[in-house]
Amino acid sequence: QNEKELQNVLKQQEEKMLQLIDKSGEVTRLKGEISQLKRSLQRAETEAKVLWEEMRGQQPKVDATYVQERVLLRQEADKLRLLLLEKENENLLLSDKY
Over the stretch 35-90, which tens digit does the pLDDT of each residue have? 888 888 888 888 878 877 777 776 666 676 777 788 888 888 888 888 888 888 88
Over the stretch 5-17, which tens digit does the pLDDT of each residue have? 888 999 999 988 8
Name the DSSP letter for residue 58.
S
Q: Coil, strand or helix: which one is 33? A: helix
pLDDT of residue 12: 92
pLDDT of residue 23: 80
pLDDT of residue 85: 85
pTM of the model: 0.47
Q: Which residues contact 38 (CB under 8 A, 6 or more apart)?
A: 84
pLDDT of residue 11: 92
CB 44 within 8 A of CB 80: yes
Q: Name the residue ranges covered by the structural domains of the chain.
A: 1-59, 61-97
pLDDT of residue 91: 79
- H or E segment at 91? helix 64-97
CB 34 within 8 A of CB 56: no
Q: Which residues contact 30 (CB under 8 A, 6 or more apart)?
A: 87, 90, 91, 94
pLDDT surpassing 70 at residue 98 = no
Torsion sign (Cα): 30, 31, 36, 38: positive
